[in-house]
Structure 1
């Protein structure tokens, strides 16, 4: 009797345990750790960087420092001769060719990405250079001195308009143009002076965003700046020596930019 009762109690306990186990949720493996998605590459925001390259003065650049003293007419047939008022006036000017030099400096700018393929921005840069130029041919003043022009430094403030491509949003091809200024030093025989000239610049380039905050670029610019009042030594302000010197030069440079991404709107690419 006691054995039967013990067996019955044991069977009841086992049945209750089985029923309770059936009510428990099934055993599952722990969820995998969260891996955030890769950051969306965007051109939005402020950037700054450095660049280095080379440049050369255009053969059409005017390197005349003081043509009244450079023309053959000064010591020629007289005040009324062809040198003073005639075709000999500018013989000391022109340019027989330019010498290249190193260009280097920094830039800072801002980009806004309007769509997955359109980027607009503004950039300013400042460059130091060793670009020089030889003077024009012909007799160059007393004793045959040579006119030369040297671009000591220049800067630009430019707009940029660029496009990207489907599946290649990290590559930006852009055109650029705007205001330019620079310090041009003109040397003549025994003396020299320099002046800040202003003008324009235009060009284009390509930039590669190889990390979310880093890019490299290659860029070409053509620059033309001009200004007068560069002949103060022999120019009292009313003579024809007060000419407008035009300085034209080319630059090719490579650079690296860091993109801060602060103050920029949410990535446009995430909305498409």
Structure 2
């Protein structure tokens, strides 16, 4: 064997090893490439849909809020108010929301009677209102104004009357969970004179907090 032949043996062995390794690699199963999972962007929050909830707060009248049966001043009334509300919102755009709401509240508005003036109270109030406003903070904060018709039962001694009127106010509602929101609201309610000389309009201020559950039946 010549020196040249001896030197070629290592090269031949290297080529053979590479060929065997390539054949073994070809026999291995191909590794499947998995693309990263696609995460869809979360849908924007929407106020559209039906809702229902409960509220509690306080109510009071001005000093001339009621007149007693003798024609005098019934005095200022104040008390707790609490009840239920239900409505429907429709989001016209990312900024604008409109809707309707009905509510029924049971009140502690009352004044004790005396020898001259009978007891006065307003056991319940109800309203049907339109709401409209704008959204802020990723559409989860709803600032709104509201107005509509109102009614309530007024008791002045032996006289019980259900009086009609109007109400208006505004509030803020915050969606703290996908289906839950909390609100703070002020309403001014004016129950109009009904033709009886011994009844004046009842002017009632209400401040209340509430919570709503939002249904997604039509989303």
Report the TM range for the smaller structure's normalisation: 0.7 to 0.9
Q: Distance in 2 between matches of 1:60 and 1:44?
A: 41
Could you say which residue in structure 1 is the equivalent of 2:81?
103
Q: Distance in 2 between matches of 1:105 and 1:117?
A: 29
Could you say which residue in structure 2 is the equivalent of 1:93?
72
How far residue 248 of structure 1 moved from its aligned partner, in angstroms, is 1.1
Matched, 1:199 2:165: yes
Could you say which residue in structure 2 is the equivalent of 1:83?
none
Gaps of 5+ in 1: 1-6, 68-91, 230-240, 265-272
Could you say which residue in structure 2 is the equivalent of 1:156?
127
Normalized per residue, which structure has more helix? 1
Contact kept? 1:56, 1:132, Cα under 8 Å: no
Matched, 1:214 2:180: yes
Q: Secondary structure at the match of 1:55?
A: strand
Paired residues for 1:32-181 under 5 Å: 37-65=41-69, 67=70, 92-95=71-74, 97-133=75-111, 144-165=115-136, 167-181=137-151
Contact kept? 1:125, 1:156, Cα under 8 Å: yes
Measured on the aligned residues, the alpha-carbon RMSD in Å equals 3.0
Contact kept? 2:64, 2:76, Cα under 8 Å: no
Q: Normalized against structure 2, the TM-score is what?
A: 0.81
1:186-245 CA-partner distances (Å, limit 9, x unpaired): 11xxxx12111000000000000111100000000000113537xxxxxxxxxxx65553
Could you say which residue in structure 1 is the equivalent of 2:4?
none
Q: Normalized against structure 1, the TM-score is what?
A: 0.66
Could you say which residue in structure 1 is the equivalent of 2:7?
none
Contact kept? 1:55, 1:103, Cα under 8 Å: yes
Matched, 1:182 2:152: yes
Q: Secondary structure at the match of 1:98?
A: coil
Normalized per residue, which structure has more strand? 2
How far residue 122 of structure 1 moved from its aligned partner, in angstroms, is 0.2
Inter-CA distance 19–246: structure 2 relative to 1 (3 Å threshold): closer
Q: Distance in 2 between matches of 1:242 and 1:162?
A: 40
Q: Distance in 2 between matches of 1:256 and 1:59?
A: 31
Q: Secondary structure at the match of 1:17?
A: helix
- How many equivalent residue pairs? 205
How far residue 14 of structure 1 moved from its aligned partner, in angstroms, is 3.5
